[in-house]
Amino acid sequence: MRLPFAEPDPAGSERARKAKELRDLATEVSRLNPQALTRTNGEEADHAEKDVLVDPEDSCQGTFQSGAYPANFTKGLLHDEFGLVAHPEDYRCFVEAINSPDPTLFEKLVQTTQSRSEAEEEPAFQCTVDDPCCPDNDPKPPSWRGWESPRAGHVYELQGPDAGAVGMAPAPRVGSSELAVEMAEVYGLALLRDVPFAEIESGTGRTSCYEGKRGTTLNARQIVRRIAAMPFFGRDPVSSTPGQTGCRLNSFERNRRDARLNADGRLTPQVAFRGSTPGAQVGPYVSQFLLVGSPSLASAPAVPPECDGYDAAFDLEDGLIRYGSITINQRTLTHRRCVDFMTDWASWLDVQNGAKLNGIGLDQFEDCRRFITTPRDLATYVHYDALYEAYLNACLILLSIGAPTSKGFPEDSPSGRRTAFATFGGPHILSLVCEVATRCLKAVRRQKFNYHRRCRPEAIGGRLTLASSDANRRKLGCAESAFAATLEELDKTGLLDAIEYHNAKQNPDDRIGLHCPAGWTGPEDARNLLLPMAFPEGSPMHPAYGAGHATVAGGCVTALKAFFEMFEDCNGGVERPLVHRECGQDRIIRYVPNGDLLQPDECQDPLTIQGELDKLAANISIGRNMAGVHYYSDYYDSVRMGERITVGILMEQAPTYGDAMETTFTSFDGDHITISGEAGSCPSLSILDRCGNPVSPRDWWLRHVSGEELNEDL
């Protein structure tokens, strides 16, 4: 007797036809999602060079050629002694090479840039570097760095939103109160780089790198209070909207401002430098997913002496994550405390010119590994982490503690007869969290290079140094008044005095590894307002906005929130606690670092899975701010773009499983997002805002690129 369905149905040509139908459906799902129209902040056009004689009193006109594109990313091009792009046409060629359909233009640009530097009277690199690996060699000029995947935004994806379909809001402009706050935050984080997070939260911590006179060192409470007193958080903030002055902020600025504040609408040490979601502001600063390990496969009661301290058995507080039969140690290598870079003008200028100072031994490290304790520790983590490392580790932890998958998945079944593995099991989510990461990275490259081209905080520090000098301020050209306004807001905080003192302490005469021309001190009569950097090479060779780490964080964390069950109840009102359920008992997971050990937090209120995932995204993203390479808005807008990329991927996958599926989680804005699908049918995306009101998918998709000021044009 022939077995019914002895072969799968459909099969053969019918299966091929069905496969094409589903691919076509996925294409249609992607096509029907709203297309975000990216808008820049206009600085590139407003602050281009001017050399026409019209009115000598007008800072945008005159007999001189003023600095070109001072608010845009020019790193890697040749700069003059003032740190401004030496040849504006190089920047124009750079932009053309990024956006042109001709991929060969980049090689032509590099040849032009390097030939210009060789022909200049002043060399491209002001300092020579003594390679610590080869101490017998004479000091030599550093080599060039290349721009990192500048044309990745041209790549087309076959799954999920196309890179051209997602977007970001205009970045804050120089001269706005928001940009002043963003620089105050990265200056403040540089001053607190070696202060434990617990002491930042308490407000008592201050740097112990040097003994300063009164007023030159600030504790965390003083830094946060001075930032909180800036106009952005109070009276008379100046908006980033071109041509707009006064106190009215646009919707993007208001959202980013309010996200920094606590439930009482205040900026305090407890919430400063944290993420934009409630979960990111609760509990210890560092996410548990960056600290704890997982239960091991083995259960030996003690360490056999022959194991030299590494036995087969370990638990959560040991900080070892089970990765198959091997382990991942959450204790990290960290950069040497109190050692910052690019605090003198010559080395700063070399880096702007594209000097390759990473990977040649200038990095210094502490002797022992430890759990992430200070901003410098977190900055080191995000200096070397693999693209999706933190989220893969979080996934491994959640799988090891038995965190349940979404209640709307067809597997595991209530009967226990059908268990998840290839679909809705460990292999599924472990590959999905990596899959979304690469798509996020390409989409954010399109924003960085093809549209915004926003300069990094390290460059703003150089511009503020120029703005502090009456002799050199006019070099900033059309942007002179904007940088002067930013400098004025920052000067009132007192942070710049502390930065000057810090930079002076970082620059002894015998500074290791740098051999600079005698007497080279930078712009005449200028204050040293350079941003102390955690890495010798400063920021990566791509623009600031958006942030690659933050976009990947938004995408990967969204994949984890969608895959694992986030709620205890059926209506999504109670978030699932982060606990290890074993032998019928709930073990609360809430630890704080103490060197190379973890200890239970004094407060034992349970944290939530969703809150700690949101905190993980914030830690990784803002860890880049702690290094000095990004701003808060880079984090805020990028995680939300990454979230949409993953939602788009999940919607395309939903009809392909052959079973009905549904998942619900909370977005970074507090919306309840529900994605559901059945075999071969169009997926459904339904959204309720934090008050329980329905939101149209179109409005949600475009929320972060179309504020009320732009809606008419969109």
Name the residues annotated as catalytic: 542, 549
Q: Is the peptide bond before 354 cis (omega within 30 degrees of 0)?
A: no
**380 within 8 A of 607, measured Cβ to Cβ:** no
Exposed/middle/buried for residue 57 (C-beta within 10 Å: 0-12, 13-18, 19+) = exposed
Interatomic CA distance for residues 586 and 580, integer angstroms: 6
Q: Are strands 514-515 and 579-582 parallel, antiparallel or unpaired?
A: unpaired
Sign of CA dihedral 655, 657, 660, 663: negative
3-class state of residue 495 by DSSP = helix
Q: Where are the beta strands (DSSP E) in 428-538?
A: 514-515
Q: Smallest Cα–Cα separation from 186: which of 460, 597, 577?
A: 460
Which residues are CB-neighbours of 233 under 8 A, at least 6 positions away? 181, 227, 257, 261, 267
Three-state DSSP state, 539: coil
Name 189's Cβ contacts closer than 8 Å, sequence gap at least 6: 273, 375, 625, 626, 628
Amino acid type, 699: D
Side-chain half-sphere exposure of 416, counting CA atoms within 13 A: 0
CB 673 within 8 A of CB 561: no
Count of other CB atoms within 10 angstroms of residue 97: 21
For residues 227 and 257, give the distance between their C-alpha atoms in angstroms, rounded to a whole number: 12
Distances (CA, A) of 407 to 147, 335, 417, 563, 567: 45, 43, 16, 10, 9
